[in-house]
Amino acid sequence: MTICQFFLQGRCRFGDRCWNEHPGAGGAGGGRQQQPSGSNRRGWNTTSQRYSCVIQPSSFSKSTPWGGSRDQEKPSFGSFDSGASTSRNRGFGLSQNPFASPSSDGQKDEKKLLEGIIKDMEIWESSGQWMFSVYSPMKKKPNISGFTDISPEELRLEYHNFLTSNNLQSYLNSLQQLINQWRNRINELKNLNTSTTIALLSDIKDGVNQAAPAFGFGSTQAVTFGSPGFPVNNRSSANAQNFSFKPSSGFASAPSGSPSVFGNPPAFGAASSASSAITTSAPTFAFGKPAVTSAASFSFKTPAASGFGSPGFSGFPASMAAGSFGAPGAPAFGSGSSVAGFGSLGSHSHTAFSKSSGNTFGNSSISTSLPVSNGSTTTDNDLFTPKDQLTGEELEQFQSKKFTLGKIPLKPPPTELLNI
C-alpha cells in the first residue's frame, strides 16, 4: 500500500478508514496487546503516534464533514473540539522526530494552551453565553480558578427570594459584584502577564499530574488541586483516596510530569483512551487484571449481568464503593495472583518499555519493588525506595533532569527527591 502523506504530516482525516498505509498505526489495530519489543521506534512513541493518529481525524476535520462517509453531503455536526484541544495532539502528531525532547513539546503545549484560553475568553465574552460557569482550558483538565458555577435556576431562585423579602437591592448588588468578578477574571486571562500565567499553568499542571480519580475528589474544592497525587502532600481527604489508589496507579502517576506514562495501556490490553494524562482508563487498566480477585464480590463482573451496553472493564467497578476509589487498591496488590499478573506483564513489556523514559520506572516498580516492599511496614516503602537502597548510579539518574537510556533505574525514586 502507498504510504499516506497526510498521515505523515499528522493530518489524515480518515484515520483508520484511510485506504493508504499509516506506518506505525497499521500495527495498532491488531497488535494492541503486544508491545513489539523489537520495533525500531521507542515503545512509548509508537504508542503516542498510535493515539495521536486516532485523535487526529476528529480534531483536524474542522470544516469538512465528519470523515465517516467521504461522499456525504448531508449537514454534519460542527467542528469537533477545535481550538485548544488540537494543540495537544498537534504537539505529538506534527513532530516528525519521535525523539523530540519532552520539554520542548511541553512548552509548545503550554503555549497552545494559553492561546486556547485567550481565544476561549474572547469567545465567552462576545458570545453572550452564561457567565457564571466554571471553565477548563481543555476537556479532562481541572477547572481554572477564579470562576464560580452558578446555574440559572439558582440565580433565579435567589432573585425570587430577595424579591419576596423586599430586598431586591442587595440581590442586585451581589449580582453586580459577581459580574465584576467575572469580568475581571476574563480580562486577566485575556491579557496574560507573567504572574497570572504562572498561576494558571500551575492550576493546569497540577491537575495534569493528577491520576484520574483525584479529579473527582479535587472538584470538592472549588479551586485547583495542587497535589499531583503523591501522598507526600497533605491536602484534603482527597489525598487519602489518592494515596490508597497508589499501588495500582503507581505507573499512572509517575512524577515525570509527562503524560507519556499513559502510553502503557495497550500493553495491558486495555483499550483505553488517548494519551491525555487524565483518563478514566487509568483506574480501568489498573484493575483490569486483578479484577479477578475483587470482582467476585461484585455483581458487575459479567457485562450481561451489568446491563450496561458493551462489555468492557466490568471487573473495574469492584473498586467503586460509594465514593471511595481506594478500597481494593491494597487487596488487589496484596493477593499473590494479581502481583504475579502484574509481574508477568511487567516483564513481558519490560524490554519494550525499557527504552522509554519514565515508563520503566512505573512498570517495574510494580513487578520488582512490590515483592520486596511487602516485607516492609511503612506504606511509603511500597512505592518509593529509601535513599540508602539506591546505588550511586540510580541516585544520579533520579537527580538528573532526564533519564539516560540504558541507565534508567528499576526502582522507584526515593521520597526525598520528589518535587511536588
Subset of residues 313 to 342 that bind another protein, contact rule: CB under 8 A: 313-314, 316-317, 320-323, 325
Alpha-carbon span 86 to 75, nearest angstrom = 23
Q: Which of 362, 369, 329 is nearest to 247 (CA)?
A: 329
Please report how close the Cβ of residue 113 comes to another protein at its closest, in angstroms.
12
Question: Contact between 309 and another protein (CB under 8 A)?
Answer: yes
Select 6 or 162, whichever has its Cβ closest to another protein: 162
Residue 210 · residue 278 · CB < 8 Å = yes
Please report how close the Cβ of residue 341 comes to another protein at its closest, in angstroms.
21
Cell 504537539 sits on residue: 91
Please report how close the Cβ of residue 227 comes to another protein at its closest, in angstroms.
16
Question: Contact between 378 and another protein (CB under 8 A)?
Answer: no
Question: Contact between 6 and another protein (CB under 8 A)?
Answer: no
* Interacting span for another protein (CB under 8 A) from 67-75, 92-100, 340-348, 380-388: 67-75
Residues in CB range of 390: below 8 A, 6 or more apart? 398, 409, 411, 414
Question: 3: which strand partners?
Answer: 21
Question: Contact between 405 and another protein (CB under 8 A)?
Answer: no
Tell me the CA end-to-end span of the chain in Å, nearest whole number.
48
Return the residue of 94, 175, 232, 340 that touches another protein, per CB under 8 A: 175
Please report how close the Cβ of residue 287 comes to another protein at its closest, in angstroms.
11
Please report how close the Cβ of residue 68 comes to another protein at its closest, in angstroms.
7
Residue 280 · residue 320 · CB < 8 Å = no
Question: Contact between 401 and another protein (CB under 8 A)?
Answer: no
Question: Contact between 306 and another protein (CB under 8 A)?
Answer: yes
Residues in CB range of 389: below 8 A, 6 or more apart? 411
Helix (H, G, I), strand (E, B) or coil at 182: helix
Cell 489525598 sits on residue: 239
User: And the C-alpha cell for 308?
Assistant: 450496561
Question: Contact between 38 and another protein (CB under 8 A)?
Answer: no
Helix (H, G, I), strand (E, B) or coil at 401: coil
Please report how close the Cβ of residue 417 comes to another protein at its closest, in angstroms.
29
Q: Which of 233, 413, 3 is nearest to 225 (CA)?
A: 233
Return the residue of 5, 9, 111, 156 that touches another protein, per CB under 8 A: 156
* Interacting span for another protein (CB under 8 A) from 101-109, 152-160, 192-200, 327-335: 152-160
Select 288 or 346, whichever has its Cβ closest to another protein: 288
- Applying the rule CB under 8 A, the residues between 77 and 106 that interact with another protein are 77-82
Alpha-carbon span 300 to 318, nearest angstrom = 8
Return the residue of 34, 37, 133, 415 that touches another protein, per CB under 8 A: 133
Four-CA torsion 222, 226, 231, 233, nearest 10 degrees: -110
Helix (H, G, I), strand (E, B) or coil at 286: helix
Residues in CB range of 357: below 8 A, 6 or more apart? 44, 102, 256, 260, 402, 403, 405, 408
Return the residue of 138, 208, 211, 291 that touches another protein, per CB under 8 A: 138
Question: Contact between 160 and another protein (CB under 8 A)?
Answer: yes
Alpha helices in 268-335 (DSSP H): 281-288, 291-295, 303-306, 329-334
Return the residue of 123, 296, 405, 420 that touches another protein, per CB under 8 A: 123
Residue 262 · residue 47 · CB < 8 Å = no
* Interacting span for another protein (CB under 8 A) from 129-137, 255-263, 358-366, 387-395: 129-137
- Applying the rule CB under 8 A, the residues between 236 and 275 that interact with another protein are 271-274
Return the residue of 66, 343, 379, 389 that touches another protein, per CB under 8 A: 66
Return the residue of 18, 204, 278, 408 that touches another protein, per CB under 8 A: 278
